[in-house]
Amino acid sequence: MSTAIGPDAAAVPSVDDVPESQPIAWRHRHLLDVDRLSTDELDLIMRTTDAMREVLARPIAKVPALRGRAVTILFYEASTRTRVSFEVAAKNLSADVVNIAASTSSVVKGESLIDTVRTVEALGAQMLVMRHSSSGAPYLAADIFSGSVLNGGDGWHAHPTQALLDLYTMRERMPGGSLAGRKVVILGDLLHSRVARSNIWTLTAAGADLWLCGPATLVRGFEAWANRGAAGRRFHLTTSVDEALRDADVVMALRIQRERMAGGLLPSMREYAARYGLTRERLALARPDALVMHPGPMNEGVEIAPDVAAGPQSVITDQVTNGVAVRMAVLYLLAGTRVPS
């Protein structure tokens, strides 16, 4: 979206040519998962993200929408990019932001999650962004927190804002803005990936032809999901990287962690890179304009070759920028939810 227009009145706000549509109610107090978001709700998030992108392009990329709101960012796992992205998003909306890293709080003294959440609330937090290594932990927090909980990643389970920013990045680049029928490939360690799990829900909802691919030990368990589909929306699973990549419109590589070798799941990083790494040669199987994505942080030379990560098809830096806009959109939508007093 451009902020610059000429004096020609006819060229002014294209947004205004959109017919008045029925406003969609945002009914969620929390964003814990993406599995129960309707396609209309996903569209609302995408459109709100458009508006946030426009805000980010302003000379002063800051609006007062969340002025006076207290946002606490509570991370039980090391993370720089997601934490900073949430922090920037909240500050762009003029919220007051408090950061708590688990290593510096009383968490190390054995304080339970519930105690911590109660303390954070007593200190005035109205919105809680949390990351936790235990799947489902945000549900526990949401059960007792009187404000809104945003899941910033829980265990292997979900990373809702990552999936939303991935969806936004893909839609932005697809002609017509639609993923319907587009072949989207998620490549790598699915078993341990909350990014993959959340993307399954959002990409199948968007109508993508979704393919998951990885070594047999790292896609174990997904066969049953692929066959049943996410609420009936099916996807494909293969261990053949060639089959997955052929004619793909989007290829998303996932991070491989060294501890997978210790767990007996992979022989070596070298073997993984050779058999599943996203190289220029492999990428040539995909469509010439296929998008290359990665949720970060990358192990360049393992799951993705450096020249692919930095190549012309890569939208990895767009993902980072869009991450801020998506998180602003979600914070904004949640802040407007009526909370029974």
Nearer to another protein among residue 155 and residue 311 (C-beta): 155
Single-letter amino acid code for the residue at 185:
V
Q: How far is the CB of 122 from another protein (least distance, A)?
A: 18
Q: How far is the CB of 35 from another protein (least distance, A)?
A: 7
Nearer to another protein among residue 203 and residue 316 (C-beta): 203
155 exposure class (CB count in 10 Å sphere: 0-12, 13-18, 19+): middle
Nearer to another protein among residue 142 and residue 245 (C-beta): 142
Nearer to another protein among residue 23 and residue 288 (C-beta): 23
Please give the structure tokens belonging to residue 227.
């066959």
Q: Residue 244, SS3?
A: helix
Q: How far is the CB of 264 from another protein (least distance, A)?
A: 11
Q: Residue 214, SS3?
A: coil
Q: How far is the CB of 320 from another protein (least distance, A)?
A: 22
Q: Which residue has the tokens 């000429």?
A: 6
Nearer to another protein among residue 7 and residue 288 (C-beta): 7
CA distances, 119 to each of 95, 106, 141, 164, 335 (Å): 19, 11, 12, 30, 21
What is the DSSP secondary-structure string of 215-270?
A: -GGGSTTHHHHHHH-BTTB--EEES-HHHHHTT-SEEEE----THHHHTTS-S-HH
Q: How far is the CB of 140 from another protein (least distance, A)?
A: 6
